[in-house]
Amino acid sequence: MKDIYLENDATALAALVASGEVTPDALLDCALERVESINPALNAVVMLQEDVARNAIRAGLPDGPFKGVPFLLKDLGAEAIDFPTNNGSALMRNSVHRYDSELYLRLRAAGLVSFGRTASPELGVGPVTEAQVYGGPTRNPWNTDHTSGGSSGGAGAAVAAGIVPVAHGSDGGGSVRIPASSCGLVGFKPTRARLPEGPGAGEGWGGMAIDGFLTRSLRDTAALLDAVNGPDLGAPYFPPPMQGSFVQALAAAPGKLRVALCPMTLSGEPVHADCVAAVEATGHLLESLGHSVEPVQLPPDLDVEAMMVAWTKIVACGTALSVRSVLNGRPMEPALLDGVTRGAVAYAEQISGADYLQAIEVVHAFGRRMAHFLIQCDVLVTPTLAAPPAPVGQLKPDNEDFLDYRTGPGGVFEYSPFTAVFNASGQPAVSLPLHWTKGDLPVGVHLAMPFGADEALMSLSAQIEAAAPWWGKQQELVNRLR
């Protein structure tokens, strides 16, 4: 049974449940055994609710596309009555929800068996998962001296290590794509507002945040996105409608595309040699598939740095709102918050309402300029990160100068200069596991397409997966950790 669990993706496991060859209880047994044997070294799974999962199985699971497949929720968002959350914070330890989020309801209807939550940095801020509430950092299963990424770092580590075949994540500045790159997984960020946010939020971080998934196979990603696709009732805005489904897009030929290749930052700064190699190899692959590939450097009027400062202001204000809503007028106890969170709250106090609105305008104007740039190409290809996964502690969230932590030398933006760009613009983007360093650390390649072009991006990703499959490489790690 263990071999079956570790050697199949979620789609295949669901098919085995449907045929009666395996049972949901047996799959859950495998997941829990994997937590017990592997999680102590990773610190990825931070809460278990086995009784909730067993009760759901006994009550009868919905006949959804993932009926019986074990699943983990991120310890941030995906509000559910049966799953308390810390939001990555000692201040919010074991917070209980009075409602089920629309996202969780759709995941449950898909037949997934949720049995716990995975680690997140405090309130989702940061590209590493090292929140004090968990008693230590979350580590990368490829090399535990390195980070699994953030903010969905626990989800990335759990999927890469074979604890679960798929897991929930969310992405406000790259928080699905960064751990996907760091852990050798697929991480797809849909177009803004493609997925539900309610009822707890109308939008996250000025519309820049959206949910997503960490998976080993693209078909799992597609089916999960289909299962939760569509805004919830009362959503403040809607994305362009899709013509079909994500799963249907897997089988559609992408046609000949104009590929803009950028093996450097969008501002023209150099990145790590392995990141350059990953992008250049992808360019050669895309040429061999019949696409037109040209090197590109973004025009200076896009002003990525100014956008990132605006992004930082919006996130600081969102972080301060979350903290203040919990404090409810009580004084803040510094020991209950990480340094970067205290810094975000302090930075937000310097931002007026007019400053916040101006930051929103800067982000929206950037999105419009990016949309104009993408008229001259169909897809922009870059590294996902500027370097392979960082050593644990390199980006430790103890810097109380929030702007410096994000945009200063050696800060988050220097390490992750690509992903937040497409949260700001709202465009669909994906990190694919296409490169590993000589030291066997994953390096993701990032593809972004115009606003609303989710199906085209899924089709191109499927073509790449067929031409350069990554399952075997992922399985090497799973087998190593048996």
**So which residues are the catalytic ones?**
74, 151, 175
Structural contact between residues 435 and 193, judged by C-beta atoms closer than 8 angstroms: no
In whole angstroms, give the CA distance from residue 262 to residue 280: 9
Q: List the structure tokens of 49.
A: 């609710």
Q: If you search the block for the tokens 């310890």, which residue do you land on? A: 75
In whole angstroms, give the CA distance from residue 158 to residue 140: 9
Packing angle between helix 153-160 and helix 24-42, nearest 10 degrees?
A: 110
The residues near 25 (Cβ < 8 Å, ≥ 6 apart) are 54, 57
Please state whether the peptide bond connecting residue 428 to the residue before it is cis, i.e. omega within 30 degrees of 0. Answer: no
Structural contact between residues 89 and 131, judged by C-beta atoms closer than 8 angstroms: yes
Partner residues linked to 259 by β-bridges:
293, 379
Q: List the structure tokens of 155.
A: 């989800």
* Phi and psi at residue 177, to the nearest 5°: -75, -35
How distant is the alpha carbon of residue 36 from its chain centre? 25
Start-to-end CA span in the chain (Å): 13
Q: List the structure tokens of 173.
A: 């500045």
In whole angstroms, give the CA distance from residue 222 to residue 454: 10
In whole angstroms, give the CA distance from residue 125 to residue 429: 19
Q: If you search the block for the tokens 């606003």, which residue do you land on? A: 451
Partner residues linked to 429 by β-bridges:
189, 448
In whole angstroms, give the CA distance from residue 232 to residue 40: 37
Sign of the CA dihedral with 476 first, then 386, 133, and 88 last: negative
Q: List the structure tokens of 436.
A: 């590993």
Quick one: 332 exposed, middle or buried, by C-beta within 10 A (0-12, 13-18, 19+)? middle
Q: What is residue 468's three-state secondary structure? A: coil
Q: What is residue 73's three-state secondary structure? A: strand
In whole angstroms, give the CA distance from residue 335 to residue 134: 14
